[in-house]
Amino acid sequence: MADLSIAMRQAGDVAILLPAGFINAHTVREFEAALEGLVRDGQYTILLNCRDLHYISSAGLGAIMGLIETVRDHQGDILLSDLQPNVFTIFDTLGFTQLYRVFGDEDQALAAVAPERKG
Amino acid sequence: MSVAVSMEPAEFRLVIPSQTRYLNLVTGLAKRASLVAGLDDATSAKVSIAVDEAVTNVILHAYHGEGEHSVELELRFTEEALEIHILHSGQGLRGDQIVLPDPKEYIKHPRKGGLGLLLMSRFMDEVRFKADEASGRNECCLIKKLD
């Protein structure tokens, strides 16, 4: 099995990224390229559905941090959903749960941004 | 047939090339070793993250991403703790050179990088850096107590 695979789909104007496996210093370029590709295409609201993400190191957190200001400058955001306990602990330990909106599942995340996108 | 289990401290070593492709192998080993030492699943996951960060630092910073060097991991199982020593011959880091970012400041001013050491210090009970100028060997020691 590859260390990381990334699926993508679209829900309205929200781009949903589904990283599966491990994001570390070895795989982070692939993850970063996927995020950067979305932003380059004008997709500024990105939902990271982490249901199959087993692990993320600081390299992966850095990739998200590197784009958060850009997407917010364009009235978008990076949202997180379906975090496994280990992954949640990493975000929470660093205080990132205050910086990012974290949802229990994808539907909750999409429901939260729907009014914002309409408005 | 019963097998006598020695309670003496045990240790073993693994040497990997300084390449990030082996990170997953190393973190998997760290997690399994933590479980063998008696740590629970959540704590074992934290140890594996700390080891990922420490080995990544060696590969990317001590060896500047050069893949032809070696990173040595020594795992020591004692009654009190699991110790993971990460040894290398790259650029060393002393404890007094470490400045941990303040998470609150980090959130106010997001930027790439700087979080690995913070994760290591949060997830382990002790993180020590040693530089041996005579031998040119450097070490990062991660300790997780078993209580």
CB atoms closer than 10 angstroms to residue B136: 11
Contacts of B50 in chain A (CB under 8 A): none
DSSP string, chain B: ---PPP-S-EEEEEEEES-GGGHHHHHHHHHHHHHHHT--HHHHHHHHHHHHHHHHHIIIIISTT-TTSEEEEEEEE-SSEEEEEEEESSS---GGG--PPPHHHHHHS--SS--HHHHHHHHSSEEEEEEETTTTEEEEEEEEE--
Give the pLDDT of residue A55: 92
- The three-state secondary structure class of A14 is strand
Give the residue, A27 or A116, on which the prediction is more confident: A27
Give the pLDDT of residue B41: 95
Query: Whole-prediction pTM value?
Result: 0.89
d(CA A113, CA A15): 12
Contacts of A90 in chain B (CB under 8 A): 49, 119
Determine, yes or no, domain membership for A115: no
Determine, yes or no, domain membership for B1: no
pLDDT-based confidence at residue B112 (cuts at 50, 70, 90): low
- What spatial distance separates the first Cα and last Cα of chain B, rounded to whole Å? 31
Residue A26 belongs to domain with CATH number: 3.30.750.24
Q: Is the pLDDT of residue A117 over 70?
A: no
Give the pLDDT of residue B13: 95
| Overall average pLDDT of the A91-102 stretch | 89
Residue of B nearest to A4 (CA): B24
Min Cα distance A116 → chain B (Å) is 23
d(CA B63, CA B88): 9
Give the residue, B131 or A35, on which the prediction is more confident: A35
Determine, yes or no, domain membership for A117: no
CB contact under 8 A, B53 and A98: no
Q: Is the pLDDT of residue B108 over 80?
A: no
CB contact under 8 A, A62 and B56: no
Indicate left, alpha or beta for B16 from its phi (over 0: left) and psi (-120 to 50: alpha).
beta
d(CA B40, CA A89): 15
Question: CB contact, 8 Å: A20 with chain B?
Answer: no
Fill in the DSSP letter of residue A48.
E
Indicate left, alpha or beta for B64 from its phi (over 0: left) and psi (-120 to 50: alpha).
left
Domains of chain B: total:
1
DSSP string, A54-117: EEE-HHHHHHHHHHHHHHHHTT-EEEEES--HHHHHHHHHTTHHHHSEEESSHHHHHHHHHHHH
pLDDT-based confidence at residue B143 (cuts at 50, 70, 90): very high
Q: Which domain holds residue A71?
A: 4-105
Per-residue pLDDT tens digits for B24-81:
999 999 999 999 999 999 999 999 999 999 999 999 999 999 999 999 999 999 999 9
Give the pLDDT of residue A47: 98
Which amino acid does the sequence have at A90? I
Determine, yes or no, domain membership for A22: yes
Give the dihedral sign, CA A82/A93/B52/B50. negative
Nearest to A65 by CA among B107, B112, B106, B53: B112
d(CA A65, CA B118): 15
CB atoms closer than 10 angstroms to residue B105: 8
CB contact under 8 A, A95 and B42: no
Determine, yes or no, domain membership for B3: no
Min Cα distance A27 → chain B (Å) is 8
ipTM of this model? 0.89
| Overall average pLDDT of the A84-111 stretch | 93
Of B24, B104, B112, the CB nearest to A65: B112
Residue B40 belongs to domain with CATH number: 3.30.565.10
Determine, yes or no, domain membership for A111: no
Percentage of chain A lying above the pLDDT 70 cut: 96
Domains of chain A: total:
1
Q: Which domain holds residue B14?
A: 10-145
Of B24, B107, B119, the CB nearest to A58: B119
Determine, yes or no, domain membership for B2: no
| Overall average pLDDT of the B117-145 stretch | 92
pLDDT-based confidence at residue A88 (cuts at 50, 70, 90): very high
